[in-house]
Amino acid sequence: MIDEEKRGRIKAGLEREGISALVLRYPENVVYATSYWPCFGWSTCIYPLDSEPVLIVPECEGPYAERAEFNDRRPLKGDYMGSTAQIVSEILAERHLERSAIGIESSFETIAANHVGGEAIYPNTPSFERLREELPECKMVDATGLLYELRSVKSDAEIEKLKLANRLAAKGLEAARDALKPGMRETELAAESERAIHTIGVGYRNILRARGFAFIMSGPLSAQAHMPFNISTKRRIRRGDLVLIELNTYADGYWSDLTRVWSCGRPTEKQLEIYAVVLGAQRESLKRAGDGIRAEEPYLAAKGAIEHKGYGKYYPHGLGHGVGARMHEPIPSLGPGSSELLKKGMVHSVEPGIYIPKFGGIRIEDNVVERDKGAVSLSSFERTLES
């Protein structure tokens, strides 16, 4: 089924920018444009302004590519780099676009340090140069900014995909919570969460590919969870520890990014106090969100709530980032100095935290969608400290 809401937004963006077609190679942009998430990474989407999109896909992926929104699919074989450029050239000529302005992804960059999921196959200078050789009369336009903007506001259909990723992540959180006990290694607990997502996820509500990437930080190590990367270690979890799980989950190319914290055994009064501060900060931030609100405002609300309780110096990071066909999307960015305006349909994380050396760290992270007033969580998994 074609996502007409998203299609209309893409066409309006192309028309505004004076671009006749997009040529998309990044898997995250292909799944955004077509609803098909490439397996091998060489699939290409040509998205014209005035005609139906075309998906170029390796022959071996043909059966899987039937999930694409659009019916025009062309096989790719042989020398993938050369064949892709040649087929793109032929299709643009077929659509009389060989002398037009074509949008390409020439300046996409990494947004966050963590990379999960194995090899990332992305186009670079050789691919773009081959394309220019095949299309000497085309004007190649960097469409990175346009793609970031388009992807920042989700259609109703995309929000349903993100809800599905969140529901699947809840299976992984549930598995970790139920397995938690003293003596387990962090890596063992992370594996319980990942196993649940992979075994339950494939085939769950027609999902083709599902994975979870869990990072467990326990005891004093949880105080390091504010760093731009998280790592599970061989440390054995002890009774009384805070146990923080950062969980990144994908379902056919759309992501969730959640964090929960549990106590191993009965929580202490201090742990309960700080947990309540963090949860209160998250709730205050959601009240200050909504269509047309400056992106810094929810961050300031969370920061203010934490400072009011005397823990401001232990909250060292921003409040959130975009979530969609990438785990970390650049728009919106909610943090100090963020001047962009939130828009209805944006999906982002909300993740205030307090990290105290030797004591531990507490972060509660959910993915929310912006509405006219406030933001609504896509995850319903419980927010309690007791495991």
Three-state SS for 60-100 is HHCCHHHHCCCCCEEEECCCHHHHHHHHHHHHHHHCCCCCC
Nearest to 176 by CA among 189, 158, 167, 162: 189
Phi and psi angles of residue 367, each rounded to the nearest 5 degrees, phi first: -105, 130
User: Average pLDDT of 365-382?
Assistant: 96
Report the Cα 299 to chain-centroid distance in Å: 19
| In contact, 285 and 350? CB cutoff 8 Å | yes
Give the least confident one: 110-119, 191-200, 357-366, 367-376.
110-119
**In angstroms, rounded to a whole number, what is the distance separating the alpha carbons of residues 205 and 251?**
10
Answer yes or no: is pLDDT of 123 > 90. Answer: no
- pLDDT of 165 reads 98
Residues in CB range of 13: below 8 A, 6 or more apart: 146, 149, 150
Tell me the pLDDT tens digit for each residue of 24-33: 999 999 999 9
- pLDDT of 125 reads 82
Q: Tell me how crowded residue 6 is: count the other CB atoms within 10 A of its CB.
A: 21
Answer yes or no: is pLDDT of 307 > 70. Answer: yes
User: Average pLDDT of 10-26?
Assistant: 97
Q: Return the half-sphere exposure (C-beta side, CA atoms, 13 A cut-off) of residue 69.
A: 19
Residue 365's identity, in one-letter code, is E
Handedness of CA 100, 106, 111, 117 (dihedral sign): positive
User: Average pLDDT of 288-298?
Assistant: 97
**In angstroms, rounded to a whole number, what is the distance separating the alpha carbons of residues 70 and 55?**
8
Average per-residue pLDDT for the chain:
95
Q: Residue 317: which pLDDT band, with cuts at 50, 70 and 90?
A: very high
| In contact, 225 and 363? CB cutoff 8 Å | yes
Tell me the pLDDT tens digit for each residue of 145-187: 999 999 999 999 999 999 999 999 999 999 999 999 999 999 9
Q: Take residue 85 and report the two structure tokens written for it.
A: 């450029």
**In angstroms, rounded to a whole number, what is the distance separating the alpha carbons of residues 230 and 110?**
17
- pLDDT of 105 reads 95
Q: How far apart are the two ends of the chain, measured CA to CA in Å?
A: 41
Q: Residue 287: which pLDDT band, with cuts at 50, 70 and 90?
A: very high
Q: Three-state DSSP class for 342?
A: coil
β-strands 73-76, 101-104: how paired?
A: unpaired
DSSP 175-202: HHHHH--TT-BHHHHHHHHHHHHHHHHT
Nearest to 258 by CA among 215, 195, 316: 215
Q: Take residue 2 and report the two structure tokens written for it.
A: 């074609």
The proportion of the chain whose per-residue pLDDT surpasses 70, expressed as a percent, equals 98
Tell me the pLDDT tens digit for each residue of 231-251: 999 999 999 999 999 999 999
H helix runs in 95-143, sequence order: 125-134
Q: Residue 124: which pLDDT band, with cuts at 50, 70 and 90?
A: confident
Q: List beta partners, residue 140.
A: 102
- pLDDT of 263 reads 98
Q: Residue 119: which pLDDT band, with cuts at 50, 70 and 90?
A: low
**In angstroms, rounded to a whole number, what is the distance separating the alpha carbons of residues 262 and 271?**
10
Tell me the pLDDT tens digit for each residue of 59-90: 999 999 999 999 999 999 887 878 999 999 99
Q: Take residue 296 and report the two structure tokens written for it.
A: 């810094």
The proportion of the chain whose per-residue pLDDT surpasses 90, expressed as a percent, equals 91
Answer yes or no: is pLDDT of 15 > 70. Answer: yes
Answer yes or no: is pLDDT of 114 > 60. Answer: no
- pLDDT of 109 reads 83
Answer yes or no: is pLDDT of 41 > 60. Answer: yes
Answer yes or no: is pLDDT of 113 > 60. Answer: no
- pLDDT of 216 reads 98
| In contact, 122 and 86? CB cutoff 8 Å | no
Kindly report the CATH number that applies to the domain delimited by 156-377. Answer: 3.90.230.10
- pLDDT of 121 reads 61
Rg (CA), the chain: 22
Kindly report the CATH number that applies to the domain delimited by 4-152. Answer: 3.40.350.10
The greatest distance separating any two alpha carbons of the chain, rounded to the nearest whole angstrom, comes to 70
Domain ranges in the chain?
4-152, 156-377
To the question of pTM greater than 0.75 for the whole model, the response is yes
